[in-house]
Amino acid sequence: MAVAHKGAISFGLVHIPVSLYRTTQDTSIAFHQLCKDTHERIKYKKYCAHCGKEVHSEDIVKGYEYEKDKYVVMSKEELEEIKTEKDKTIHILQFVKLEEVDAIYYEKNYYAFPDKHAEKAYELLRKAMFDKGVVAISKTVIGTKETLLALCPDKQGILVKTLFYEEEIVEMPKDIPHPKTVKAELDMAKQLIQSMTKPFDPSLYHDEYQEKLRKAILSKVEGKEVVEASSKKETISSPMDLMEALTKSLATMNKPAKRKAVRH
């Protein structure tokens, strides 16, 4: 797995060199755009609007438009030269309780691995944060942006979560109404929640639609017809049926599973 970012965690006067690795991968099926008539791949060409010639990746540079149609060009080397070791360092700014950071601020996750000679300092920071029940709010430059981070300890290591800045968070477009609830309905809803509450096991969940999509594609490849999904629509209870829906849901959850007959 490729390193997404290299730097060092700065904890007071303690310097902990680390490498960040992505925690996720895209497993979704990718489709190509094809010509309707020939089924050939659709390709896009990049060209210069001034001279009309096609340009390739090695011929493209980054430019900032400081006035209309006027640009200042910045090469990759110049962008890297601007970064100092201080910029690449993950500076711990403060420690907070994990629940104090609203979930809306989280963006991406990375695994942080220490360099070999920094393993003891890394473990010291991880264990101290884990025992105190805190995360470290930090900053570092990733790419061309100073990124806000949360260093989150667990039993294995330190998970680095990138955070949005407050100015990047968009306010809710309108207020969500809070109509008055009936106690009997609320109690029933709580019972339903309780009946469905159990330890989280991520291995139980997977993308079922992707499985159906893969089967449909395989059927097409083998020359079979794609089987259409059932057109039956789920019914949504109206506010008038809320209590009835809760009662039936709870009864379904509490119904004992049918035992299979044992053949002798």
Q: What is the pLDDT along the chain (264 residues), one digit of tens a residue?
A: 789 888 899 888 888 999 999 998 888 888 888 888 888 888 888 888 888 888 888 888 888 888 888 888 888 777 777 766 677 789 999 999 989 999 999 999 999 999 989 999 999 999 999 999 999 999 998 877 889 999 999 999 999 999 999 999 999 999 999 999 989 989 999 999 899 899 988 888 888 888 888 888 888 788 876 656 555 555 544 554 677 777 887 787 776 655 544 444
**DSSP category for residue 80:** H
Q: What is the pLDDT of residue 225?
A: 67
**187 Cβ partners below 8 Å, 6+ apart?**
none
Residue from 56, 51, 4, 55 nearest 25 by CA: 4
Report the Cα 34 to chain-centroid distance in Å. Answer: 30
Residue 17 has what pLDDT? 92
Rounded to whole angstroms, how far apart are CA atoms 142 and 22?
Answer: 13
- Assign domain 5-23+81-167 one CATH number from 2.40.290.10, 3.40.1080.10, 3.30.2320.50, 2.130.10.10: 2.40.290.10
